């Protein structure tokens, strides 16, 4: 995968802080997109493997061979590729259409449900050597994106240990944009890491492997289910990442009342837990927020079923955070994960809980 030839590695980020539970004692619930995930068509989609009983690419015709008896089981949407960690997976022959390293940028999107969070490949290009690859690597559950170039130089960013969890589907997206030089990793719609990788040609001219690697000396195979694998010939935006994951546009959260109390943990190292108040503005539909540490922000809150998404823009700094979580069945409480990016403190991940006043 990364096949980290240490003299060539250009590590451009550090692992995020481990997520902490809020002091309120509520446990953050898992964010899960609705089952309409495949309905959304974001422009510049060049390949799409839904893994509904076969390896067909339903967009570009780059069909995958199913290797060594991999089977299909229950997926995020329909069926998913089910692999057991013993050289099973899917392999797509190299082609100009999949050589997205020649494009202005690219995006890899996949729904994954690992049985464990140890080292394992998700998607990679491999030929005479490793190409671009997306793994769980560096630490248990850490999504790791190596935009390896045509000179075999590794350019790597990764998320925090434990970000990816075992036993449930999660939406993982990695993007690289040549013009800005930025690589980014999103998990369940939230930006969890970004870094300036430089401008170069990523190595994507090899065969594409999904769920396993033929590189010697590393854990060969994914262990669990992989579904809805998509490849774009540009770096899609944060809004498009959410659209690809959710499959339908969320609706403004008109049913949430007018005032919420909220606490978040793990964002600010100086004040581990910070609490504040969200007030809905009737004229705009946006929310104003203030915290006990003096922070002020404008919030956009949307609901998609029970999934709640909050986009925060701080009044003074303009910095942004994304809150993902689940609204309780009674509509009175919500909890989830918050991802900050980026200021002098770098990307940070924490947890949050809220209740109606």
Mean pLDDT of all residues belonging to the chain: 81
CB atoms closer than 10 angstroms to residue 212: 26
How much helix, strand and coil, in percent to the nearest 5, is found in the chain? 5, 45, 50
CATH number of the domain that residue 321 is part of: 2.40.128.120
* Residue the block writes with tokens 């010697």: 216
State whether 45 and 175 are in the same domain: yes
State whether 73 and 213 are in the same domain: yes
State whether 278 and 233 are in the same domain: no
Helix/strand/coil for 38? helix
CB atoms closer than 10 angstroms to residue 115: 15
Residues of the chain above pLDDT 70, percent: 79
pLDDT in tens, 93-149: 999 999 999 999 999 999 999 999 999 999 999 998 999 999 999 889 999 999 999
- What are the backbone dihedrals phi and psi of residue 267, each rounded to the nearest 5 degrees, phi first? -90, -45
| pTM (two decimals) | 0.64
pLDDT in tens, 42-101: 899 999 999 999 999 999 999 999 998 899 988 888 889 999 878 899 999 999 999 999
The DSSP line for 198-263 is: -S--B---SEEEESB---TTS--B-EEEEEEEEEESS---HHHHHHHHHSS--EE-GGG-SEEEEE
Residue scoring higher pLDDT (254 or 276): 276
> What average pLDDT score do residues 300-324 get?
77
Nearest-CA neighbor of 214 among 99, 98, 89, 65? 89
CATH number of the domain that residue 42 is part of: 2.60.120.200
State whether 98 and 58 are in the same domain: yes
What's the CA gap between 81 and 73, in Å, rounded?
7
Pairing of strands 296-304, 307-314: antiparallel
pLDDT reported for residue 304? 64
Domain assignment of residue 1, yes or no = no
State whether 266 and 238 are in the same domain: no
Domain assignment of residue 20, yes or no = yes
Residue scoring higher pLDDT (15 or 225): 225
State whether 167 and 263 are in the same domain: no
pLDDT reported for residue 31? 37
Nearest-CA neighbor of 187 among 22, 49, 64, 19? 19
Range of the domain at 347: 251-356
Count of domains for the chain: 2
> What average pLDDT score do residues 175-181 get?
98
CB atoms closer than 10 angstroms to residue 182: 18
Of 208, 224, 246, the residue at which a domain comes to its end is 246
State whether 159 and 88 are in the same domain: yes
State whether 26 and 148 are in the same domain: yes
Confidence of residue 23 (pLDDT cuts 50, 70, 90): very low
pLDDT reported for residue 37? 35
Nearest-CA neighbor of 130 among 148, 155, 106, 107? 148
* Residue the block writes with tokens 């262990």: 223
């Amino acid at each position: 995968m990364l096949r980290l030839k240490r003299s060539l590695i250009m590590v451009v980020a550090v692992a995020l802080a481990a997520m902490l539970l809020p002091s309120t004692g509520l446990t953050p619930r898992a964010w899960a997109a609705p089952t309409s995930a495949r309905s959304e068509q974001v422009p510049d989609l060049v390949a799409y493997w839904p893994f509904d009983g076969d390896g067909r690419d339903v967009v570009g015709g780059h069909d995958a061979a199913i290797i060594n008896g991999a089977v299909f089981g229950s997926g995020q949407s329909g069926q998913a590729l089910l692999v057991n960690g013993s050289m099973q997976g899917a392999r797509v022959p190299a082609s100009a259409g999949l050589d997205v390293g020649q494009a202005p940028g690219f995006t890899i999107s996949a729904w994954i449900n690992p049985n464990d969070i140890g080292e394992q490949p998700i998607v990679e290009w491999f030929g005479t050597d490793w190409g671009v690859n997306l793994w769980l690597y560096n630490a248990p559950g850490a999504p790791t994106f190596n935009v390896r170039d045509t000179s075999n130089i590794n350019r790597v960013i990764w998320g925090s240990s434990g970000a990816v969890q075992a036993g449930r589907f999660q939406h993982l997206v990695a993007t690289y944009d040549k013009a800005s030089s930025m690589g980014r990793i999103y998990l369940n719609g939230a930006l969890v890491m970004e870094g300036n990788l430089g401008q170069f040609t990523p190595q994507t001219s090899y065969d594409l492997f999904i769920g396993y690697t033929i590189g010697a000396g590393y854990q060969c195979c994914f262990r669990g289910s992989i579904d809805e694998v998509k490849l774009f010939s540009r770096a899609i935006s944060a809004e498009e990442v959410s659209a690809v994951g959710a499959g339908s546009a969320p609706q403004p959260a008109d049913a949430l009342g007018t005032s919420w109390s909220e606490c978040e943990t793990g964002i600010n190292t100086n004040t581990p837990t910070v609490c504040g108040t969200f007030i809905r503005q009737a004229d705009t539909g946006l929310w104003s927020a203030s915290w006990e540490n003096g922070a002020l922000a404008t919030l956009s809150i949307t609901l998609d079923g029970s999934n709640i998404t909050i986009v925060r823009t701080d009044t003074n700094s303009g910095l942004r955070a994304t809150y993902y979580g689940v609204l309780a069945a009674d509509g009175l409480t919500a909890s989830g994960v918050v991802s900050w990016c980026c200021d002098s403190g770098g990307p940070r991940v924490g947890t949050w809980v809220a209740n109606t006043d």
